[in-house]
Amino acid sequence: MPIFLCKDSIRLLEASVSSLNLALIGLSLPLRSGIRETNALYASEVGLIGAAAEQAINACMTQNYGFKGLLTSDGKFKSASQIFDEFITLLKKENAKNSFLVKGVLDPEKHLKELIDKTSKFRILAKSRAGGFHAGFGPSREVVVILANDVSEFLFLLSKSSRIKPYLSFIPKPHDITKDRATLIEELANQVNASNVPQEKSVLISSAFLILPELNDVKPEWIDAFERVSVTPTASDIVLLLDALNRAVPTTLLRAAGSGEAFPVRIDQQNPAALSVSPQFLRREFNQINDQWFADVGIANGRLKNKVVDLPHPDFILDIFGVGLDKLNIGENKLGIPAQQTWPFISASLGVQGTSLPYWFLVKKTEDLKELIAYLKRVEKFSNGYFRKKIVELYEGVVSINNNEPLMEGSVLLDDMLALAEKIDDRQSRLHEFFEQNKGRDSAETNTIIEQTVNEEIDISTAITAIMNVGEIEPSRRIYWIRTLAECCREIGDIPGLLYALKNEQNSSIKTAVRKGLRLIDFIYHGPDFI
């Protein structure tokens, strides 16, 4: 089976399905006798449903930004609410990075709008999930079933993409016949009016918010009060939430029963890891990298004053890219790294013969891009032809970043990257074909490695490393498979295997394939936005 998503995204999608499935199993179990706190009955289930929603969206965020996209600057996981907000922002951008979400979808614009509609509800679900997991509070069974349906429908929406569908062939869905939302909200309103217990009122109000069809703001003013009510309700928070419900006009949900007050609500049906590379993948000891960085910076700047370009060795840029600047004691200034330090390595990446080495990850961390351009223009006067030819694309990208405008169709840089991405996607989709064509030409060990890769039992990075270490294999066959696998790489998780191949294999065709993969990964995850 071709590989359409990165391994981290696939794992998160499968975890999402498992979480939702466990929640539905919990809903199908018979009630325990002797329950003293009825609010605890479905606390675990709502927690699992909220987790399923978060894991599904984390899968999408990881496909766009890599696993780092789930982490804060200090290496901790972002909250579910933050992830949902960032995902909505991502969906609203016209960006080619979203293409995996709409691959094969007839109406991409409508599809993205539907994803926004579903995701906007999950921010409230995230707060209820926390209340379920941490405080043991859960809504009624009817509400939990509606929430499970919401997540199931969200997964179904994701599965409309031909790149996601293979990983969502099974989507759990409740078998219960659910009540109409308006009817259920009316029943909750009657129960709020009849209750004199603050804790009970808070659970009922929270349940009503959870199943509202839609509210105007992604982050409304009452969201913090909703979170507090889910755990430690106060009278003032309950009043605030009741007022928020009463101000959610113009459509009023009329009473379905003969008594009690209705909740007026607004209904708008149209709204829509740090990568750590082990030392065996690097060309130098980990503890040497920091020292060499500052040594190279000093040499390059000193020589530039004398109108001489003396740049770091290209291999060192690959080690920095593999380890990640966040893992090194470089750029402790929160504003970024001074241009005086980054220009030597960017220049070295552009000055190599053939495919450029990664450099956008350095541009992205540079504190002052105008100062960087000034340095590079000085370097351009004394550099080789490779540098002068390639620097043009960097200038184009920096202008895009400075103006906060995405690269548009017709951009030389973007056209080059999109053509490379299309070629890599084609190679990925044909990996099974290559395996079948070459059966019988390789050893049993090699065949097993490739078959495991095709069946997604191991990732491409692991496969490259394994092929490099196969004992009995003809050199030409090793070169064929390393090159073929390298031509399928476009995810952050592929970097370790690519670096390992560069470190241990000198064949020019492998070098070219590896460099192209690294170049695309660098552009996708660190380069300017594009549409």
Residue 280 C-alpha from the chain's centroid: 27
Give dist(CA 265, CA 246) in Å, integer.
Answer: 7
pLDDT attached to residue 325:
82
Give dist(CA 51, CA 59) in Å, integer.
Answer: 12
Low-confidence ranges of the chain (pLDDT < 50): 216-219, 222-223, 229, 231, 236, 240, 247-283, 285-286
Reading the block at residue 206, the tokens are 């929270």
Give dist(CA 311, CA 514) in Å, integer.
Answer: 22
Name which of 53, 51, 89, 41 is nearest 69 in CA terms.
89
Q: Which pTM was predicted?
A: 0.56
Three-class SS state of 488 = coil
Three-class SS state of 71 = strand
Give dist(CA 141, CA 150) in Å, integer.
Answer: 14
What are the two backbone dihedrals, phi and then psi, of residue 71, each rounded to the nearest 5 degrees?
A: -110, 150
The end-to-end CA distance of the chain, in Å, is 29
The answer to whether the CB of 480 falls within 8 A of the CB of 510 is no
Q: With helix as H, strand as E and coil as C, how does 238-292 read?
A: HHHHHHHHHCCCCCECCCCCCCCCCCECCCCCCCCCCCCCCHHHCCCCHHHHHHH
The answer to whether the CB of 158 falls within 8 A of the CB of 198 is no
Amino acid at 411: S
pLDDT attached to residue 506:
72
pLDDT attached to residue 82:
86
Longest dimension (CA), the chain: 90
Reading the block at residue 83, the tokens are 């992830």
pLDDT attached to residue 153:
93
| Rounded-to-10 torsion of CA 515, 521, 524, 528 | -50
For the chain, how many residues are written?
531
